[in-house]
Amino acid sequence: MKFEEVYGEIFNVVRADVEQVNSNLGSSFPVENSIHENLQKFLESPSKRIRSVLTFLYLRACGIEITDEQIELQTIVELIHNASLIHDDVIDDDMKRRGENTLKTDCGNRIAIISGDYLLSVVMKKLAALESLELFNIFSKTLENMCSGEIQQHLNLYKITTIDEYIEKSYLKTASLFEASITGAMRLAGDTKIIRAVEFGRNFGIAFQIRDDLQNVLQQESKDLQSGVYNAPVIFSGSPDVSQAGIEKTKGLLNNYLDKAGECLSDLEDNVYKSALEELLEILQDV
């Protein structure tokens, strides 16, 4: 089965939870807002909602109830992710995303940047309403990490860095939000033993970024290579002319982080949610 088909089955395990998040996203800002229509269209475009899916599966695997506050927290996660995508489209000059025009295409760079900023202002308001300084600190640090990762990537354009530097960037840019999503949800549930949850989110997020970078390089015209973003396949190849050895070493790195994520699930009781998480890790191996 293809990735999309298997992921669709995994998604269905927590579909009801994710649909509540989608409903929340649609009512996150007032209709009379001048950029409401464009933001609504962007947020409703097809999305895997993988951060929310992963967190809901993990919570349910732990036997934790999905409350209205948990739905609100995942709404915050999705708003942060989508704000970062809007900004990325401006930085990368992307005209299409998810098969639809980007905000920069329809509205121009200025409105796109302001729209991303506006989503982050909604995030701050929602976090404040949860009345948890710990959650506020978790997500403010995550936003700092994401910005730091983007800055590192920009400063290293057309440079072949080390694998350690690449992993650090992948954590900051991508994995930190996966980590915050699960960590924040566990804290919200009152769980204090979250080391495994933190490690799972971090390792999954790094693996997710490695896979994305590998897929990009395997395309006939790699946008990363053309724009000077040199990730693991280039680092292992020692050149922008990516070698088969570089690709195989990147696959090995991907599997290493997927294995680490899988080890973090070993203490969970066997149930349909744990099985779905394990299946998700398995399908990410296929590139």
C-beta neighbour count of 121 within 10 angstroms: 12
The CATH number assigned to the domain holding 189 equals 1.10.600.10
Mean pLDDT of the chain: 94
Q: Is 218's pLDDT higher than 90?
A: yes
Q: Is 99's pLDDT higher than 80?
A: no
CB 217 within 8 A of CB 247: yes
Domain count for the chain = 1
Mean pLDDT of 11-34: 88
Cα distances from 116 to residues 29, 39, 223, 267, in angstroms, run 13, 9, 23, 39
Q: What is the pLDDT of residue 153?
A: 96
- DSSP single-letter state for residue 182: H
DSSP alpha helix (H) spans, 62-194:
68-92, 103-107, 109-129, 133-155, 163-170, 176-188
pTM of structure: 0.95
CB 89 within 8 A of CB 116: no
Q: Each residue of 176-207: pLDDT tens digit?
A: 999 999 999 999 999 877 999 999 999 999 99
CA atoms within 13 A on the CB side of 270: 0
Tokens, residue 224: 């990363």
CA pair distance 203, 281, nearest whole angstrom? 11
CA pair distance 28, 23, nearest whole angstrom? 9
Cβ-based neighbours of 285, under 8 Å, separated by 6 or more:
254, 255, 258
Confidence tier at 238 by pLDDT (50, 70, 90): very high
Q: Which domain holds residue 58?
A: 3-283
Nearest-CA neighbor of 156 among 210, 245, 82, 234?
Answer: 234
